[in-house]
Structure 1
Amino acid sequence: MRVLLYNFVQPEEAGAGGVGVYLNNLAKALARDNDVILLSSGDRYSPTSREPRVTFSRDAYHRAVIVNSPVIAPAAYSFGDPDTYRSSTQIDFVPDMLFKKYGKIDVFHFQNIEGLTRSFFVALKDAFPEARLIYSVHNYHPVCPRVSLWYQDRVVCEDYRDGAACTMCLAPIFDPHYIRNRRRLIWVEKAYPRATAALAPVLHLAKLARRSLVKRRARADTADAVSTQGQTVAPIDAPSDVPLAIPSRVPPATSYAGFRNDNIALFRDVFDQVLAVSERTGKVFVDRGVPAAKVAVSYIGTAHKEKYLTSTKIIDIGSGLHLGYIGYMGTDKGFNFLLDCLERVPADIAAGITVTIAARNTFPDRHERMEEIGRRFKTLRYFDGYTHANLDAVLDGVNLGLIPVLWEDNLPQTAIELVSRGIPILTSDRGGAQEIAKNASFIFQAGNEEDMVDRLSRISKRELSLGAFWESDIQVFSMNEHVQDLMRYYAPDR
């Protein structure tokens, strides 16, 4: 079988993220018995030409890279331009090139639509009418241009109001010309490292000047123009590395509504199967219009399965409860909510609890608050992030992991990493982490401080045993098990 796997960047490259790790493992597993092609688009722009083209290469896999895509990836860079995705036909030639290069391809498995166009998928189905088109839901981009359904960085977007909510979402509007030119420069830097090193001071000054100008324009434009239905929006600062375009360039609601509706039509008419990485993720998709008949659940495989099989499962708090949080300090990840909960734990109970937090110090104010709250507890152990190499040391002694997410986090890898080490987890009812054990005693209502604190207190007082967590059928799968499951959708008639 010949299988094409798509992500907007090649799986080993910087920026591939968690999906890249998954895709790398999937490609290795599939390549044992199948011919694997890796396609990417939206991340490479040529300094010598502007027309889209495809470059081909071969190592352990066949590789195809679309250069100069009209849609910039990742999705954050294209939030302000949904219409290019909807209307551009510039890469419609690619499916025919793939056919000429590789001949018959049995399965096209997309991990996202970032870097591609709506028309590309229609052309692909025309060029490969017998192929199976599969889409895995690692994020919500097809129904949310911002990807996460996290409205204004504060609440889950339950009603996008036919695109009107998107126009008020406060997502950064990036300057596409800057993004493309920066990526062209990266290309040059790799090709001519000595020359670009000599010019680096001048380029840096130019970047700082431009960033300052765009920030001033953005603040002025926001202060003057961005007020919708009586709700004034605070100015948006540009990130440290990429300037924003002017906020008044936010497209109309009809463009965002069209983006969602066009993708729902693709899932209905072009794709053969939509694979959600959790039941909750599938429900979120279906609730927003994706046909339920096209959606199935396929839990992803992980390299941690072997560790799960050999780990000693923690069934008791031993000498005391030891909480562990690993990940980020983001609001969507529930970090602020976690601090609120820790602050509410009764003093007599807190005095017997150890807390370990491993998260990069990206918000100094939150870090400072964490340190202050930590004084209420027996011990606070803090790590400025973690790697897989030191994760076992970070989690040493932890007997309960915390997944307090507020957004519909599809299936947090941190949850799998904790459970695979024999550590029970207490999760919110948002996203897919709750499905690893499907144990209601270890699931609290997202954002409900009283509910989470009550469960922590009961566990600390041994009213709820950690051993109860393992009474359910734990959903942790190896990559081989995952591939076997995928074959049901890759070749349903075999």
Structure 2
Amino acid sequence: MRIVLVNWARIWDGAEHGGGVNQYCQALALDLVRRGHEVVSLFGGITYVPDRRECFIRRHDDWMGVRVFEVINSPVMAPAAVQFREPMGEVSAPELEARVGELFEWLKPDAVHFNNLEGFSIGCVERAKQAGARTVFSLHNYHTLCPQVYFMQGHRETCYDFDNGHNCAKCFDALHPREERRKLEEEFARGRGGKEVQDAAQQFREAAGGPWRAVKSGVGLARAWWKTRGRLPGSAVNGAGDVTGARPANGEDARGKTPYLMAELNPPKPRDPDALELRPLDNSILPEPISSKPPNDYSRRRAAMVRMLSSCDRVLAVSRFVGRKFASMGVSAGDAGSLRVLPIGSRINRVIALKPDLLFDPPPFEHPPRETRPVRLLFLGYNHHYKGLPMVAETLEMMSPEHLRKIDLSVFALGGQTIEWMFRRLEPRLARLKYAYGYTFHDIPWMMGGKDLTLVPSVWWDNAPQTVFESMSCGVPVLGAAVGGIPDFVHHGVNGLLFRGNDREDLKRRLIEMIENPWQLEELRRNVRPCKSIEEHTPEMERIYRGEDVGERVMPESGSAVEVTVTAAATKATGGTR
């Protein structure tokens, strides 16, 4: 079969640019190629060039057997945050749809698998149908229903009511897409030298109205790049105006020992316990209140997205919670609907098989507990509010020194510089702290080796975090928030532990239970099983691309769907699979 995988990020970047969705696209593409299929990757919304305003498509060199095409100057920008102020652009973008439609007509794919609509529009899905392809849409996140992606008002409070789109309009401050585009054009003009400058010059030659204009464009671009290379530190000092006044750092300042000093100078501050962002999050789905306000563009966008999803040949939810959330908001479900639940696969099993010696069990715990070794905890992922790393630091601050000295904590957080000081403040009280600013996918086995428990403390309805799959495939149980798709895979007291989402007191209680009774971790570890591999998942996708019915049906129901209750005595989870 000829299969087109659509996503906004470059497929060769994997999780480093595009997160878990792009990591999945990469793994699926490579396995489809291995199984003999023609695979095409289409991405867009991230490259903008000056001196040429129209949208066009460029072909990159094939990557690992995958054909790669990029939409340049897409009128729909990616990722979602930069398009936020123009919600209807994701509904209709005729110029983009014409170019993408031409590509689909030339390719004549058997299936077009949309893993995101960021950088594209609803009309692109219709163009895939017109080209004779089956349309498959994977719900890796909530972008189709929430242009902010996370159902989090202002990035902090769970959104239960979009008020016919009026709460979306005031959700968070975002630049207009034209300002974002201007910045990207300037970045392109500055360039990074070498082949990129040559490619850009060639691109300008193709667009130029004559050879002289092409020469000027190419030389100008090269000159812009040359000016940026080998810059001196700081800025020039030529007079009184350059030496007076403050000069704050542009962004987070991580020079030298700054994080340690920030920890020293910023003691914990009391927080309002009734603040909305501190409210615990339950895994319930309730109808949104009826709004008396007229629909705006955000409301019209959501309605159009629901119609688009319902019209696809197959819509795949990565967890039961996600399936029921989308069904509750109108996406076609039931026996006749297009919506199915199908957890994804991961290629982490293959990475582990290449280096099995990197994974090893932690030492056994000794008796009595006061004399045994510290519990080894691990966090890996992105540092932003939704993933809950700041909440972990706040929870640890609530614990006694006696308990903290029984915790050996390793944090591998992409972008972790911004809150490092919160953990450095804790460091003298912990048994040990290892804090790093990131990792690559192939680092995961050695990071997991010898660990007792992986923290997955999401404070939003996390669809199905791949950290859970990676931890379980490495044989490490998970302490996770009972939100989103996490309870589908983590079963309390069996292969991991759950705590109430965004509840610092409940997380603290779980940590203390674990410290005071560490032997339970050995039992959990014995029950951990590897996640579904990409080699197991790809045949499922092949059947879907051929039109077969694969996955669990999502039945529409009234009231709440997927209830997870976490109590001090036990955790009850319905909607998960064992």
TM-score bucket (shorter structure)? 0.7 to 0.9
Report % sequence identity: 27
Deviations 1:368-422 (A, max 9, x none): 3322233333333333333445555544542111111101222223333332322
Partner secondary structure for residue 90 of structure 1: helix
Aligned-partner Cα distance in 1 for 2:518–2:26? 43
Report SS of the residue matched to 1:442: strand
Q: Distance in 2 between matches of 1:174 and 1:333?
A: 24
8 Å contact 2:409–2:433 — kept in the other structure? yes
1:462 matched to 2:465: no
Following superposition, the deviation at residue 194 of structure 1 comes to: 3.4
Aligned pairs (5 A) from 1:154-303: 154-170=156-172, 172-188=173-189, 189=191, 190-191=196-197, 192=218, 194-200=222-228, 254-269=296-311, 271-292=312-333, 293-303=337-347
Gap change, CA 1:73 and 1:436, over 3 Å in 2: same
Instruction: Quote how far apart the aligned CAs of 1:114 are.
Output: 0.9
What SS does structure 2 have at the residue aligned with 1:443? strand
Q: Secondary structure at the match of 1:332?
A: helix
**C-alpha contact (below 8 Å) 2:365/2:518 kept by paired residues:** no
Q: 1:7 to 1:378 in 2, by over 3 A?
A: same
| Residue 440 of structure 2 is aligned to residue 398 of structure 1 | no
CA separation in 2, counterparts of 1:429 and 1:329?
19
Q: Distance in 1 between matches of 2:522 and 2:447?
A: 22
Residue 116 (str. 1) matches residue 123 (str. 2): no
Larger Rg belongs to = 2
Aligned counterpart, 1:70: 75
For residues 357 and 493 of structure 1, the distance between their equivalents in structure 2, rounded to whole angstroms, comes to: 42
Rate the CA distance shift 1:82–1:114 in 2: closer, same or farther, 3 A.
same
Residue 58 (structure 2) pairs with residue 55 (structure 1): yes
Shift of 1:473: 7.0
2:471 match: 418
**1:296 is paired with a residue of what secondary structure?**
strand
> In 2 relative to 1, CA 383–91 (structure 1 residues): closer, same or farther, beyond 3 Å?
closer
Partner of 1:9: 9
Q: Deviations over 1:2-51 (max 9, x none)?
A: 11111123301573433222222211111132111221222233434222
State the shift of 1:186 in Å.
4.4
Give 2:85's aligned residue: 80
Are 1:324 and 2:378 matched, yes or no?
yes
Q: Structure 1 385/62 Cα, relative in aligned 2: closer, same or farther at 3 Å?
A: closer
Which ranges in structure 2 are unaligned for 5 or more consecutive residues? 198-217, 236-246, 251-293, 367-372, 550-578
Structure 1 match to 2:421:
368
Measured against aligned partners, the alpha-carbon deviations of 1:58-111 in whole angstroms (never above 9, x if no partner) come to 632333322222111111110000122224322232354234422x31111011
Q: 1:147 maps to which residue?
A: 149
Cα 1:97–1:322 shift into 2, 3 Å: same
How far is 1:166 from its partner?
Answer: 0.7
Q: Residue 170 of structure 2 aligns to which amino acid in structure 1? A: M
Partner secondary structure for residue 76 of structure 2: coil
Letter in structure 2 aligned against 1:266: M
Q: Deviations over 1:109-164 (max 9, x none)?
A: 01101111222322332332xx2101111221100111121221212222212112
Q: Is 2:413–2:437's contact at 8 Å kept on the other side of the alignment?
A: yes
**Equivalents in 2 of 1:117, 1:443: separation in Å?**
38
- Please say if 1:379 is aligned against 2:432: yes
Report the more deviating stretch, 318-327 or 300-309: 300-309
Match of 1:240 in 2: none
State the Cα RMSD in Å: 3.1
Distance 1:99 1:393, change over 3 A: closer
Superposition TM-score, scaled by structure 2 size:
0.69
SS in 1 for 2:94: coil
- What amino acid is aligned across from residue 222 of structure 2 in structure 1? R
Change (3 A) 1:488 1:468: farther
Q: How far 1:476 sits from its partner (Å)?
A: 0.8
- Give the 3-state SS of the residue equivalent to 1:143 in structure 2: coil
* Count of aligned positions: 443
Q: Is the 8 A contact 1:405 1:446 kept in 2?
A: yes
Is the contact between residue 314 and residue 422 of structure 1 (CA under 8 Å) also seen in structure 2?
no
